[in-house]
Amino acid sequence: MFRIAGAGSVTAARLSAACCRAVTSKQFQVHGASLHVLSSETSRKTRNGPAHRTPPSWQSVRAMASAGESQSKINYLFYGLAVLFGGGGIVYWWSRKYMRETSKDGSTSKKAAAPAAAASKEATEPVAETPVTATTKSEAPPAQPAAAEAPAEAAPDAESKKLLDATPQSYPDYEVMPEIPGHAKYLLIGGGTASFAAFRAIRASDAKAQVLVVTEEEELPYMRPPLSKELWYSDEPKLVEKMKFKQWNGKERSVYYNPPSFYVEPKELAYQENGGVAVVKGRKVMKLDPQKQVAVLDNGWEIFYDKVLIATGGRPRNIPVFERASQEVKDRVTLFRGIKDFKRLDEVSKNASSIVVVGGGFLGSELTCALGKRSRDSSLKVIQMFPEAGNMGKVLPEYLSQWTTAKVRGEGATVKPETFVKRARYSDGKVILKLNTGEEISTDHVVVAVGLEPNTELAKESGLEVDDTYGGFRVNAELEARSDIWVAGDASSFYDIKLGRRRVEHHDHAVVSGRLAGENMTGAKKPYWHQSMFWSDLGPDVGYEAIGIVDSSLPTVAVFAKATEKDTPRAVVEETGESLRSVTETEAEGVVAESGETTATPEVELSSAQTTEPSEVPSTTDVEPSASEKTESATDEAPAPDVEAAAKLVAEVEAENRVAPTPKEDYGKGVIFYLRDDVIVGVVLWNLFNRMPIARKIIKEGKQHQDLAEVAKLFDLHADED
């Protein structure tokens, strides 16, 4: 890469032209080398501003300079100087070369019209892109056919002819620009939901913002929830091939947030008068230099930035038994996370005779239900195993976890609680799993869904702090890790003013934290006060939403009621037309979520009159530690429960003759409160939708409540009953 300081000096002008000649003599091999003319730090940051325009192609330079009119020559001489001082130099060299081709006595150099027209046509045709690496070597394009008729007086001198023959004749001048910009006002690292929310917020605040996204994936920004939910329930293979799915209401939708036409090519980003968003795919940012404000890619390319967002998300966590296994075993293991993993598992499920899902959390349970549904129409056998006592045992109280396990079994899967893999080996095309129970299972494929590890590789090389307890980049209330560096999404360890420092791995958090970071990158300076929610669907008929610290090791109190036809995920989507319930909940709240201000949330005043009838299903308590305590804690980890508080709560329950429900009961819909020191710190809404603003307000208030049955009335459990 060439950088020339002092763009306004004569020496810099001469050196710029010399560099252009050197590059041109090598057939414009600038995919691996670029020319930047820098006059100062300020000019570096502004050289790609909205006022910069795409210069005319060199074909137009040639045509006008060859017209023979003195005014045209003079115009293009000034044009060449303007381009040089503006930070280019290449078109300036072209103008000089073609000026030399005209006769010294002012006579017109009459070039043949046919070659010029052909060159102009070729300049508008797409040219195959060359992969961007530091050592890319571009082959010289085919030489242009000679002019059919060329007057003798138009023949260039020997030097000009040599240069002309060595130069691509069909490339417009933007083709010689680097594939990746050398500067971005807003640089977003990662192409997930947090980045999507951030660039929407940036563009909303700065209408002409030029945003550059760099992602390791070969995909444009997309939503992850459908990869384990709706995509598996589509009966139309063509939809899945196009990464489209039918929402529970039957409406088709793409997993991609925006169509390809929404984005601009990275190399053209600097020339967009009205700004835009460009995505560099398949590249990884290896290092940030906060002082110089430079990001270094895995191919050595450097991008100067003004503001940068780290939204690197997380990578699927593996378990040691598969990390130590042979390559044959590893080739048959999927760590499920993105589109590539979905496509692979989708293909495997069509041909395999058996699949084992390791993990009983949200993702593992959703995938098991989805694969189980698919197994009904094939010979596929689906087995799920996990060390907890029941599905989602780290989150749900034990009785509800047992009910959920029965639901998953009803979808056609074999579920093995309190089970884990001790050894894995390969034999005759199968993976043989030795379990802690002594049993051996032979399977075609294994899916591991046991959580995420935040991607924090940038921290060590960039001087950024990582949270030793929760993982992720440690940020302040404005989600800023250092000056002009923000972090959002799964990789952010933020301070919750009500629940302490946390790291959250859910869609709603990625949306809201990404949006807030984007606004703060444009100068908003807002704190992150939002209590993010998450949701999980076990098919179209059973779903739940949760907020706060939902840890099954905490004491819980639940109130249930009879469900109606409206109390299903399918019904919610049919009513709202939106499958992402974080969106519908935000709309229901009627507020800017991250501001912490509410306008449509009912007041939680238990002293006011309540007209709702009490629930027919008794309130229940679960203070027994779950099997999840024997495994790694969930992401929303909470301190150990207060034993005295738990004992006090048990005594109160026994005094009121409340009996915990049995797994045989049908939990239609209800609300589960999670307590710490008698304060509600988490809420699960079971088949109860569009009530999240109420739960969010209860947690925000942080009060102790003597009668949680009264609190439950705020959720209007009987609203849809006859």
Question: How many residues does this entry show for the chain?
Answer: 722
Residue 506: per-residue pLDDT: 87
Worst-scoring range by mean pLDDT, 213-217, 492-496, 514-518, 561-565? 561-565
Amino acid at 390: G
Which band of pLDDT confidence, cut at 50, 70 and 90, is reported for residue 95?
Answer: very low
Other CB atoms within a 10 A radius of the CB of residue 429 amount to 9
pLDDT at 337: 93
- pLDDT surpassing 60 at residue 146: no
Q: What is the pLDDT of residue 14?
A: 42
Give the pLDDT of residue 73.
55
The C-alpha torsion from 130 through 24 and 135 to 177, rounded to 10°, is -50
Q: Which single residue is written with the structure tokens 């079994």?
A: 409
CA nearest 497: which of 656, 341, 702, 210? Answer: 702
Q: What is the pLDDT of residue 712?
A: 92
Is a pLDDT exceeding 50 seen at residue 226? yes
> Mean pLDDT throughout 638-659?
41
**Which pLDDT belongs to residue 247?**
83
CB contact set of 325 (below 8 Å; sequence gap of 6+):
333, 424, 425, 426
State how far the Cα of 675 lies from the Cα of 581, in Å rounded to an integer. Answer: 25
Q: What percent of the chain is predicted at pLDDT more than 90?
A: 46
Q: Which region among 57-61, 196-200, 279-283 has the lowest average model confidence (pLDDT)?
A: 57-61
DSSP state at residue 175: G
Check whether 17 has a pLDDT greater than 90.
no
**Is residue 45 over pLDDT 80?**
no
Q: Sorting pLDDT into bands at 50, 70 and 90, what band is 139?
A: very low
- If one counts every other C-beta atom within 10 angstroms of the C-beta of residue 544, the result is 27
Q: Would you list the DSSP string of 447-478?
A: EE-S-EEE--HHHHHHT--B-TTT-SEE--TT
Residue 641 confidence (pLDDT) above 80? no
> Does position 591 have pLDDT exceeding 50, yes or no?
no
The C-alpha atoms of residue 612 and residue 709 are separated, in whole angstroms, by: 11
Instruction: Kindly tell me the sign of the dihedral angle through the C-alpha atoms of 180, 185, 189, 192.
Output: negative
Q: Could you report the per-residue pLDDT of 512-558, keeping only the tens digit for each?
A: 999 999 999 999 999 998 888 888 887 777 788 899 899 999 999 99
Rounded to whole angstroms, the Cα distance separating 37 from 86 reads 8
Mean pLDDT (whole number) for 353-374: 94
Q: Name the more confident of 354 and 28.
A: 354
Does residue 43 register a pLDDT over 80?
no
- Token readout for 288 is 């940030």
Q: Which residues contact 191 (CB under 8 A, 6 or more apart)?
A: 213, 214, 215, 216, 217, 219, 220, 221, 279, 281
Lowest mean pLDDT among 71-75, 574-578, 706-710: 71-75
Q: Which two tokens stand for residue 248?
A: 């529970």
Residue 542: the pLDDT is: 79
Q: H-type helices in 426-578, by residue range?
A: 457-462, 507-521, 569-576
Say which residue, 356 or 592, is predicted with more confidence.
356
The predicted model gives 489-501 an average pLDDT of 88
Cα separation, 593 vs 512, in Å, equals: 7
Q: Is the pLDDT of residue 696 over 70?
A: yes
Of 281-290, 342-351, 566-575, 658-667, the poorest mean pLDDT is in: 658-667
- CA geometry: angle 423, 429, 430, nearest 5 deg: 35
Q: Which two tokens stand for residue 68?
A: 């023979």
Please give the pLDDT value at position 517. 97
User: What mean pLDDT is predicted for residues 343-357?
Assistant: 95
> How do beta strands 556-561 and 669-676 pair?
antiparallel
Which pLDDT score is estimated for 81?
58
- What local confidence, expressed as pLDDT, does residue 498 receive? 74
Closest listed residue to residue 699, CA positions, set 500, 472, 494: 500
Nearest-angstrom CA–CA distance, 254 and 264? 20
Confidence of residue 720 (pLDDT cuts 50, 70, 90): low
Q: How confident is the model at residue 646 (pLDDT cuts 50, 70, 90)?
A: very low
Residue recorded with tokens 């005014």: 71
Which residues have a Cβ under 8 Å from the Cβ of 558 and sit 6 or more positions away? Answer: 397, 400, 619, 620, 670, 671, 672, 673
Question: What confidence score (pLDDT) does residue 235 get?
Answer: 77
SS3 label, residue 205: helix
- CA proximity to 688, closest of 571, 539, 557: 571
Confidence of residue 251 (pLDDT cuts 50, 70, 90): confident
Q: Token pair 């790291």 is at which residue?
A: 503
Give the mean model confidence (pLDDT) for residues 252-265. 95
> Which one is predicted more confidently, 397 or 644?
397
What are the residue ranges of helices labelled H in 153-210?
158-165, 193-205
pLDDT bucket at 565, cuts 50 / 70 / 90: confident
The strands making up 669-676's β-sheet, listed across from edge to edge, are 533-537, 543-548, 679-686, 669-676, 556-561, 620-622
Render pLDDT for 385-443 as a digit per residue (tens, 0 to 9).
999 999 999 999 999 999 899 989 988 999 999 999 999 999 999 999 999 999 999 99
pLDDT at 578 over 70: no
1 against 228, higher pLDDT: 228
Query: What rounded mean pLDDT belongs to the chain?
Result: 74
